Structure 1
Amino acid sequence: MFEEQWTFEALREWGDWQLEPYLQDTTERLAQLDYLLTGMMDWDYGQLRNNLNTVIEDEKRLRFMVAVRAIKGGVPVQYALGHAPFYGREFNVDRRVLIPRPETEELVDWVLKDQATTDLKVLDIGTGSGAIAVTLASERPNWQVLASDISKDALAVAEMNAKQFSASVTFLASDLFDQINGTFDVIVSNPPYISEQERAVMDESVLGFEPDLALFADDNGLAIYKRLLIELLAHLNPKGSAYFEIGYLQGPTLLALFGALPGVTVALRQDMSGHDRMLKVSRV
């Protein structure tokens, strides 16, 4: 395919040259290239360093070049690669779903550490790529996990991820609780919570490629929470808990809103950066 063989180091240098006009920060540029190479080869960064002088196969070289050209066009590196890490697994992602974030890993970690490992019924609302639901089902195979989303395109990606990891998850097309029957021990959701006012300060790669439906909500980003609040107790078992990812400025407001529900306790938790990021609502 190519007349001249290239090593991984040569390909990395080519990628750096290609991206330099578009990404001025050298550290960020090389980080994206290394992320792309390690993800493409299923290596860790140590393996990449040890193989910089290894000749890359033509097929991998072509795939890398196509991905770099996509990144030049503003495509997030995770979409260019086709998958993104989440809780130790690589989830398929494309423009139909949000790219999983580290903050959501913290939400999942809270659920796993907080809940007994006995049989539980779990609902993930707005599953997107399925990162939350598939991770919970994989880490706790005895849990009965239902995942819903308003987007059938997103559900197609989530189902692909569940199949990839042999995770037992049931998927359902639903606008929040609209098609949900029954009650659950655990409800978890990372809903759209960004206000329209924040659009002006957001990264172009997010605005241009990630789905608006999964990002933005009316009423200063609170609209979806207010809808969830109305039906939450009808679907949450006694002694059950609901876990939500929230915007970093929404903690006090959501604490008050959910705290006004009868017979519940509400707790905020900060992310690794010290920002309010998670909310737990428990029936007493």
Structure 2
Amino acid sequence: MIQTASMVLRNGTRLLSAAIGDGASRDARILMAHMMGVETDRLTVELSRMITPTQVSQFEHMIKRRAMSEPISHITGKRAFWKHDFKVSADVLDPRPETETLVELALTGAAPETILDLGTGSGCILLSLLGEFPDAQGVGTDLSDAALQVAHQNAVRLNLSNRVTFQTANWFDGVAGRFNLIVSNPPYITAKEMESLSTDVRDFEPHLALTPGGDGLAAYRSIASELAGFMAPDGRALFEIGYLQGKDVVDIFSAAGFGAVSLHKDLGGQDRVVAVSGPKNR
């Protein structure tokens, strides 16, 4: 039986609402728009279209996946960040709006010639910055080869592959040179916080990118111990943090001897980024 998109969307919304409650209508609309190949904000004018049984099956399969708490981005294969849609998968952390705070802060300084992204994941931070700084070259590192494959695919899609190099590394291991701008959104969720994460995060996103275990600060300690050797004399470094970690992360970089360490809030008023600049204290 041929049905309109509106009829199928209504049925899908009802099924999804029973599974996840709040947000079902929004999620069903996103999935319907993705299946139909239209922008979500144009879906309303497309709902009178007749869709085929094959399309109905595709939509129902996506609804079932979402009902099992699989993230929307994993189903559609993309997530919006800064000015672009980035390819994502279960191998990378989903880009989040609060991470754009780091990009905004990077744009307040002098244009860098070289950018290093530690734990690049999907490459969303590094590639967004390269898009804003057309004369810059970038290096992205990650422990996960699968994540680096996603980052490379995003670089190709954004026509930035000629200005970026990706390499497998544990933070600075194997990295050469000094950089004007160093950025990172490292794993920082504590072991205790992992227990209370929503199912779509805890069960579907890579734990390697979410938590180092313990107090969540291990990555900052490791990076702080080596950072000075990779910063250019005029260099800056920006690190995303958990909203309760501001003082602890500032203390870590201050104790490592850096002269200028500052804390910055996101649009929601939560501590979100620690900035490090200036030479180490002598």
Residue aligning to 1:276: 271
Worse-matched range after superposition: 197-206 or 39-48: 39-48
- Structure 1 residues 59 and 83, CA, compared in 2 at 3 Å: closer, same or farther? farther
Residue aligning to 1:256: 251
Residue aligning to 1:240: 235
Residue aligning to 1:198: 193
SS at structure 1 position matched to 2:211: coil
Is the contact between residue 83 and residue 128 of structure 2 (CA under 8 Å) also seen in structure 1?
A: no
SS at structure 1 position matched to 2:126: helix
| 1:18 Cα offset (Å) | 2.1
Residue aligning to 1:122: 115
Is the contact between residue 225 and residue 256 of structure 2 (CA under 8 Å) also seen in structure 1?
A: no
Residue aligning to 2:19: 22
Return 5+ residue gaps in structure 2 as ranges: none
Residue aligning to 1:64: 59
- Structure 1 residues 148 and 40, CA, compared in 2 at 3 Å: closer, same or farther? farther
Count of residue pairs the alignment pairs up: 277
| AA at the equivalent of 1:97 | V
- Structure 1 residues 53 and 254, CA, compared in 2 at 3 Å: closer, same or farther? same
- C-alpha deviations, 1:15-34, integer Å up to 9, x for none? 11221221122xx1011112
TM-score (structure 2 length as normaliser):
0.92
| 1:252 Cα offset (Å) | 0.8
Distance between the aligned counterparts of 2:39 and 2:264, measured in 1? 31
Distance between the aligned counterparts of 1:282 and 1:68, measured in 2? 47
1:12 matches 2:9: yes
Distance between the aligned counterparts of 2:105 and 2:62, measured in 1? 34
Residue aligning to 2:211: 216
- C-alpha deviations, 1:71-94, integer Å up to 9, x for none? 122211111111111112111111
| 1:131 Cα offset (Å) | 0.8
- Structure 1 residues 57 and 165, CA, compared in 2 at 3 Å: closer, same or farther? farther
Residue aligning to 2:184: 189
1:266 matches 2:261: yes
Distance between the aligned counterparts of 2:32 and 2:249, measured in 1? 41
- Structure 1 residues 39 and 268, CA, compared in 2 at 3 Å: closer, same or farther? farther
SS at structure 1 position matched to 2:9: helix
Distance between the aligned counterparts of 1:62 and 1:218, measured in 2? 41
Alignment map for 1:67-78 (pairs within 5 Å): 67-78=62-73
| 1:60 Cα offset (Å) | 4.4
Distance between the aligned counterparts of 1:104 and 1:41, measured in 2? 30
Is the contact between residue 241 and residue 273 of structure 2 (CA under 8 Å) also seen in structure 1?
A: yes
Distance between the aligned counterparts of 1:42 and 1:106, measured in 2? 30
RMSD over aligned Cα, in angstroms? 1.7
Residue aligning to 1:172: 167
| 1:44 Cα offset (Å) | 3.8
- Structure 1 residues 158 and 43, CA, compared in 2 at 3 Å: closer, same or farther? same
Distance between the aligned counterparts of 1:224 and 1:137, measured in 2? 24
Return 5+ residue gaps in structure 1 as ranges: none
1:54 matches 2:55: no
Identity of aligned residues (%): 35
Q: Pick from 132, 137, 161 the counterpart of residue 139 of structure 1.
A: 132
Distance between the aligned counterparts of 1:143 and 1:10, measured in 2? 50
SS at structure 1 position matched to 2:125: helix
SS at structure 2 position matched to 1:201: coil
Distance between the aligned counterparts of 2:264 and 2:35, measured in 1? 35
Q: Pick from 79, 83, 86 the counterpart of residue 78 of structure 2.
A: 83
Distance between the aligned counterparts of 1:60 and 1:248, measured in 2? 42
1:100 matches 2:95: yes
